[in-house]
Amino acid sequence: MLNEFINIITKASLPLPGLEITILLVSLTLCLVFRLNRTGLFIAYLFTYRWGWIVFAENSQSFLATYLLFGSVVGILTVAGLLKSPDS
């Protein structure tokens, strides 16, 4: 299973639309300018999660299910961290 995962990662080809990269760069730049670091991290997570989904959607269903599970857990923890006040 690990060898198959490594094979998927090393041989993956991910064509990224220029519009998505532009939107990501503009939104991250705005987040940095306005000091919205947490929001910028969440936006970057959403884009990279989508791009990872594209890679794993073409492969085995077990990898896609695992990606969905761990990605959802990380997303939930990220939102929980965003809701926590920075002072505490």
Does residue 3 sit within a domain? no
- Write out the residue range of the structural domain in which residue 81 sits: 35-88
Does residue 13 sit within a domain? no
Does residue 28 sit within a domain? no
Does residue 76 sit within a domain? yes
Does residue 23 sit within a domain? no
- CB atoms inside a 10 Å sphere around CB 40: 19
CA angle 35, 40, 46 (to 5 degrees): 170
Does residue 27 sit within a domain? no
Pull the structure tokens for residue 28: 């991250």
How many folded domains does the chain comprise? 1
Residues 13-69 have pLDDT tens digits of 778 888 999 999 999 999 999 999 989 999 999 999 998 888 888 877 888 889 999
For the question of whether the overall pTM of this predicted structure is more than 0.85, the answer is no
Supply the pLDDT for residue 35: 94
